[in-house]
Amino acid sequence: MKKSLAAILAITLPLLAGVATAGPVIIAGTDTDDHGRVVAGVNQSGWLFMQRAFENLASQVGNGNTSIVCIGCNPGQARNAFNSAFNRSIIAGTWTSISLTSTTDITNFFNGTGTANINNAGIVYMPTWSGNVAGGIQAAQLAIVNANAGILNGFVGSNGGLFTQDEAFIAGGYDWLSTLLPGLIVHGDVDGTIANSTSLTLTAAGMSAFPSITDTILSSATPWHDWFSGNFGGLSVLATGPASLGGTRFDGAVILGGGAGTVIVCGVPGAPPCPMPEPDSLPLFGIATLGLALGLLRKRRSRH
C-alpha cells in the first residue's frame, strides 16, 4: 500500500501547482447530455446545464488556452449535446471545440503530440458513458484516460478546467479519479442507493463556484445516476441528491469539484492542504466510513 501510494504521488505531485493557480472542476454523476434539447434556438434542461458549465469553467481557466476538448464524444446524442452546449454558449466566438474519438488521437492528446493536446487545451470534457447515452465515451477510450490519470491531474493543477459526467458503470469508469483519490467510492443505480434521482440541490460551494447554474436547471436535467462517498481529496461537494445507505437517508454528493483554485490531490506531502468542508456538506462525512465498508464488500462497478 505504501509503495502504491508513493508511486501515485511520484506521478501526480510534481505536476501540481499551488492552490491559487489550479483550475476549475466539475465531476458530475449526471448524464445531462442525455436529458436536453433545443427549443427556438435555446438549449434546454441538461444541455443548458452543460452550456452554463462550459461558460463558468472557461471564465476561470488560467492556463491561457481557449479550446474545449471532448474525449469520447462519438457521433450521436453525446456529440450533439456537446456541440449544442458549446455553439450556443457565450464563449463560442472566442473559444474552439474539438471531439477526439480514435484511440490514436486520444493517446496523442495525453502524450502532447496531437494537434489538439493536453498542452494547448483549456478544458477537458468527458461525456456520459456509451451505455447511458448514444455516442458516449467507450471503454477503450476511457482506458487511455485511466492510464494518464497523473497527466490529467497535472493539467488541472496547472490552471486547466475539467468537466466529466456519469461513467460509474462502464468498465474502468472513474478509475482515473480513484487512482488519484484512493478510498473514493462510487454509488448509484446498480447498488440501489439512490433515493430520488429527479432532485438535485446546489451547495453553498456550488453556488459560489458556478453562479449561473441554478437548482432549477439542475433538477430539469435529471435523472442522475451516480453519487460519491469516502475520500474527496481537494474536491468540494457542489450538488447533492437524496440517497440512502444502510437504511439511512441523506443528501449524497452527486457533483464534486470547485471553482478556480481546485486541486484533486491534497493533504499529502508536497500537495496543497485539503479545504474545509462547507457547512451543508458536513453530514456527508458521517456516512463516509459506512460507505467505505460497503465498498469493500462489493465490486464497485458493474452494469446489467
Residue range 128-147: mean pLDDT, rounded:
97
CA distances from 76 to 37, 97, 161, 252 (A): 13, 17, 24, 30
Of residues 137 and 273, which shows the higher confidence score?
137
Per the rule left: phi > 0, alpha: psi between -120 and 50, beta: everything else, 285 is: alpha
> For residue 156, what pLDDT is reported?
96
> For residue 250, what pLDDT is reported?
92
Of residues 188 and 111, which shows the higher confidence score?
111
Please report which helix (H) or strand (E) contains residue 223, including its range.
none
- Does the bond joining 211 to the residue before it have cis omega, within 30 degrees of 0? no
**DSSP string covering 65-123:** --EEEEES--TTHHHHHHHHHHHTSTTTTT-EEEEE-SHHHHHHHHHT-SSS-TTT-SE
Q: What CA–CA distance (Å, rounded) separates 25 from 186? A: 18
145-191 confidence digits (pLDDT tens): 999 999 999 999 999 999 999 998 899 999 999 999 999 999 988 78
Q: What CA–CA distance (Å, rounded) separates 279 from 221? A: 26
> For residue 20, what pLDDT is reported?
47
> For residue 11, what pLDDT is reported?
42
Residues 69, 124 contacting (CB under 8 angstroms): yes
Residue range 106-118: mean pLDDT, rounded:
97
Check pLDDT > 70 for residue 197.
Answer: yes
> For residue 277, what pLDDT is reported?
62
Residue-averaged pLDDT of the chain? 86
Closest Cα to residue 301, out of 179, 129, 193, 170? 170
Check pLDDT > 80 for residue 3.
Answer: no
Residues 180, 233 contacting (CB under 8 angstroms): yes
Please report which helix (H) or strand (E) contains residue 148, including its range.
none
> For residue 280, what pLDDT is reported?
52
pLDDT category, 126, cuts 50, 70, 90?
A: very high
Closest Cα to residue 294, out of 230, 204, 219? 230
> For residue 133, what pLDDT is reported?
96
> For residue 292, what pLDDT is reported?
44
pLDDT category, 302, cuts 50, 70, 90?
A: very low
Please report which helix (H) or strand (E) contains residue 297, including its range.
helix 288-297
Check pLDDT > 60 for residue 221.
Answer: yes
Residue range 110-120: mean pLDDT, rounded:
96
% of the chain beyond a pLDDT of 90? 75
> For residue 272, what pLDDT is reported?
75
> For residue 125, what pLDDT is reported?
98
Q: What CA–CA distance (Å, rounded) separates 139 from 134? A: 14
Instruction: Tell me the residue type at 198.
Output: T
Check pLDDT > 80 for residue 288.
Answer: no
Closest Cα to residue 267, out of 277, 279, 280? 277
pLDDT category, 278, cuts 50, 70, 90?
A: low
Burial level of 278, CB count in 10 A (0-12/13-18/19+)? middle
> For residue 289, what pLDDT is reported?
41
pLDDT category, 51, cuts 50, 70, 90?
A: very high
Residue range 59-69: mean pLDDT, rounded:
97
pLDDT category, 128, cuts 50, 70, 90?
A: very high
Residue 72 C-alpha from the chain's centroid: 14
Check pLDDT > 80 for residue 21.
Answer: no
- Enumerate the domain spans of the chain: 2-8+19-297
Residue range 256-279: mean pLDDT, rounded:
80
Check pLDDT > 50 for residue 82.
Answer: yes
